[in-house]
Structure 1
Amino acid sequence: MSENRKIAEDLIDAVGGRENIHSVAHCATRLRIMVNDKEKIDQERVEQIDKVKGAFFNSGQYQVIFGTGTVNRIYEEVSQFGLETKSASEQKTEAIKSGSRFQRAIRTFGDVFVPIIPVLVATGLFMGVRGLVMQEEILSLFGITPDHVPENFLLFTQILTDTAFIFLPALVAWSTFRVFGGTPIIGLVLGLMLVSPSLPNAWGVAGGDVEPLRFFGFIPVVGYQGSVLPAFIAGIIGAKLERWVRKRVPEALDLIVTPFITLLVMISLSLLVIGPIFHTIEQGILSVATNVLSWPFGISGLLIGGLNQIIVITGVHHIFNMLEIQLLAKYHSNPYNAIVTCAVAAQAGAALAVGLKTKSVKLKALAYPSSVSALLGITEPAIFGVNLRYGKPFVMGLIGGAAGGFLASILGLKGTGMAVTVIPGTLLYLNGQILPYILVNLVAIAVAFALTWMFGYSDKVKKEIEQQ
C-alpha cells in the first residue's frame, strides 16, 4: 500500500468512517469533508496522521490542511474509496445551508465581496507603484522632477487607479445579483446606471462644485461613484424582483419583459429611495469607522491588532471588506490594512517560536511552513495547526498583533489597497511608507516570538495537551 493511500485510509477512519462522510472536495491546500455527524471525528487521531498540518471545522466543512500539491494526491486516493466527490464551489454552496442564520448571512456577505477583491488588490498595487514612481528620488534618476511628468502619463496612471472605484457600484450590483439568484448582467447594467455620466458626479457634489438633481423638490439624486451599500441593497432587491417577475411572465415574453421591468423598477427605486437612504447610512458607518481608526495614543491599533485574529476564527471577518472598500473609495488609503497586517505577522512569529523550540520533528515540519504561509498573508495553517492547538502561542500572537498595531496607529500607516498583508503587503506601502511598514511587522513578529519562546510553549505542555 502506498504512503498516500495509507494516509487516505487513516483519515477516513479518523473522521468516522465512510458512512459518516457526505462528500469530499479540495481547494489549493485543504481537503474539505462534509460529515454527517461532527461528533464522530477523532480530532487527535486526525492531527497525528502523517502529512496533516492541521484540521478544523469551519463553514460547515471539516477542513484538513495538507498543503499545495500534497492535497491533490490525497484527494485522488480518498476518491477511490467510493465516496461522493464534489467541486469546492458545489460543496461550499451545500455548506452554506448549515449554521445559524447569522453565520449564513456573513457567508453570503463574503460571497458578494470576495470576488471583487482581486481587482481592488490590483488597483491598490497600482496606487503603490505610482506612489513609488512619483517620488522625487526616483524621478531624479530619469533627470526629471514631479512638475515635468507628462500629463499623458498621469492620465494613464489615473485610469489604472480610479476605474475600479468609479464603477464600484457596477461590480457590487453584478456580484450581488449573482449571489442572490438574479441575472448578473442585469445587475451589472443596474450598477452602471447608478454611475451614469448623466447624473451629477458624487465626488463633485461632495466637494460642493456640483448641485444634486432635485426630484419632487426634495429628493436629492446623484451618481454613486465609489459607493457600496446602495448598490448592495439594490442588488438584493433587484435579484428577488427579477425572480418574482420571471415566475409570472410567459416564457415567450421573458427575454423582453423581465429585464425591462426589473431595470425600470430598480433604477427608479435606487435613485429615489434606496440611494438617498443607504448612502446616508453608508456615510455614517464610514464616519464612525474613521473616528475609531483615528483614536489617539494608538488605542485603535492596539484593539484591532489584538482582536483581529479572534474575529478571523469566528469567520465573520469578511464583514470588514465593505469598510476597507469604503475607505479606499473615499480616501484612497486604508489604515485598517496596516493594523491587520501586524496581527497576521504576529501569528507567524508565534508559530516560528514553536517550531524552533520544540524537539518534535513532526511539529517542526508543521510549524515552519505554517509560519512562512502566515508571512505570505495566510494564517489558517499557523492558527489551527499550531498556535490555537496549544493555546498560549495564539494568545502571544494576539499580544504581538496588538503591539504592532499600536505602533502602526501611532505612525499613521495607511495602505493603498486591501487584502494583501505582510510580505505581499509591502507593495501597498511603496509611497514613502515602506520602512515604517517593515518596522511594525518586525515588532509584531518579535513580540509574539519572544513571548511564545519564554512563556507560550514547551514540549511538556504539548505532551499534557495531547494526553487530555
Structure 2
Amino acid sequence: MTNNKYHDIASEILEIVGPDNIVSATHCATRLRLIVKDKDKIDTKAIEKVDEVKGTFFNSGQYQIILGTGIVNKVFEELEAMNVSTIDKSQQDEYVKSQEKGIKALMRTIGDIVVPIVPVIAATSLFLGLKGVIFNDNVLSLFGLSTDIFPDYLNSLVSVLTDTVFSFLPALITMSAFCVFKGTPMIGLVIGLMLVAPQLPNAYSVASGDAKAIMVGGFLPVMGAQGSVVTAILTGYIGATIERKL
C-alpha cells in the first residue's frame, strides 16, 4: 500500500476490472463510469470490497462504480496517471445512447426531451397550487374575506404567471426535441409556437364545442396543438431531420 489512498483505490479497481478490459473511463459527480469489453470478467463482489466503493451497477455498456462526491474525481485522476483511456462524459454518453435499442432507446430519448422542461413545469405547478389556495372563497372565508377583494386585473396577471408554460408547452417540447435530434433550437421554438398560434382554433375550445376546427379540403381538420406532447415530439423529430438533410 502507498501513502496515496486514491492511488490504491484506483489500482485495486484497475486490477479487478482488468486493464485490457477497459475501453474508456470517465466520471460524473459520484460514479466512476467504465465502458468495458466484457462485464462478466469483473468480480463485482471484489469491487464492492474496495475502500470507499459504495456499490456498482451495469447499464447500457457502462460499468458504474459508486464512490461519492469528492472521491470519484481523485480516483479518476489516478486512473488517468495509469494511462487508462479516458474521454469526457458527453462522449461516453453518446456511446451509451448508441448501444441502446428499442423501447430503452425510446424512453431515453423522451427523457432527454422532457427533463430540461421539468423545472419550469414544477415551478409553474407550485404557483398554480398557491393560486388555487389564495383565490379560493372557502379558504378566504376563514378570514372573513372573499375573492371580491382582488381586482380583476390581478387575477389576469397571476394567470400569466401560472398558465404560460402550459399554454405554450408544445413550443417548449418542440424546441427541446430539436436539441435532442441535432436541429437548431430556435427553429424548433418558432415551429413549436406555430403549433399553438392564435390564428388556429384552440384545441380545448374545439373539444368543448366552443370553436370549430379549420377544415382543409373539406376533410382534414386543423386546430392548435394545445396539450399535445406527442405531436410536439413528432414535429421536433421531423423538423430536425429535414433541417439536417437540407
- After TM superposition, is the score higher than 0.5? yes
Give the secondary-structure state (helix, strand or coil) at the position aligned to 2:99. Answer: coil
Deviations 1:324-363 (A, max 9, x none): xxxxxxxxxxxxxxxxxxxxxxxxxxxxxxxxxxxxxxxx
- Give the 3 Å change call, closer, same or farther, for CA 30–139 of structure 1 in structure 2: farther
- What's 1:7 paired with? 9
CA distance in 2, matches of 1:192, 1:26: 38
CA distance in 1, matches of 2:151, 2:84: 62
Instruction: Tell me the amino acid that sits aligned with residue 235 of structure 2.
Output: A
Larger Rg: 2
- What's 2:22 paired with? 21
- What's 1:122 paired with? 123
Give the secondary-structure state (helix, strand or coil) at the position aligned to 1:162. Answer: helix
1:106-255 equivalences in 2 (<5 Å): 106-134=107-135, 139=140, 144-244=145-245, 246=246
1:70-89 equivalences in 2 (<5 Å): 70-89=71-90
CA distance in 1, matches of 2:142, 2:87: 55
Task: Choose 107-116 or 223-232, whichever is displaced more.
Answer: 107-116
TM-superposed CA distance for 1:221, in Å, is 1.0
1:344-363 equivalences in 2 (<5 Å): none
TM-superposed CA distance for 1:238, in Å, is 1.7
Do 1:60 and 1:96's aligned partners in 2 also have CA atoms closer than 8 Å? no
Instruction: Tell me the amino acid that sits aligned with residue 36 of structure 1.
Output: K
- What's 1:31 paired with? 32
Deviations 1:25-74 (A, max 9, x none): 22222222111221222110111112212110013211122223333333
TM-superposed CA distance for 1:173, in Å, is 1.3
CA distance in 1, matches of 2:58, 2:177: 27
Q: TM-score, normalised by structure 1?
A: 0.48
Higher relative helix content: 1
TM-superposed CA distance for 1:77, in Å, is 2.9
- What's 1:319 paired with? none
- Give the 3 Å change call, closer, same or farther, for CA 25–243 of structure 1 in structure 2: same
TM-superposed CA distance for 1:76, in Å, is 2.9
CA distance in 1, matches of 2:85, 2:143: 61
1:308-323 equivalences in 2 (<5 Å): none
Instruction: Tell me the amino acid that sits aligned with residue 58 of structure 1.
Output: N
Q: TM-score, normalised by structure 2?
A: 0.87
Deviations 1:198-250 (A, max 9, x none): 11112222222112111111211111122111111122122222222x2xxxx
TM-superposed CA distance for 1:19, in Å, is 2.2
1:63 aligns with 2:55: no
TM-superposed CA distance for 1:134, in Å, is 4.2
Cα RMSD, aligned residues only: 2.3
CA distance in 2, matches of 1:142, 1:157: 21
Do 1:56 and 1:64's aligned partners in 2 also have CA atoms closer than 8 Å? yes
- Give the 3 Å change call, closer, same or farther, for CA 222–99 of structure 1 in structure 2: closer
TM-superposed CA distance for 1:138, in Å, is 6.7
The answer for unaligned runs of 5 or more in structure 2 is none
What number of residue pairs does the alignment pair up?
Answer: 244
CA distance in 1, matches of 2:216, 2:143: 53
Q: Percent identity?
A: 48
Give the secondary-structure state (helix, strand or coil) at the position aligned to 1:32. Answer: strand
TM-superposed CA distance for 1:143, in Å, is 6.8
Task: Choose 82-91 or 130-139, whichever is displaced more.
Answer: 130-139
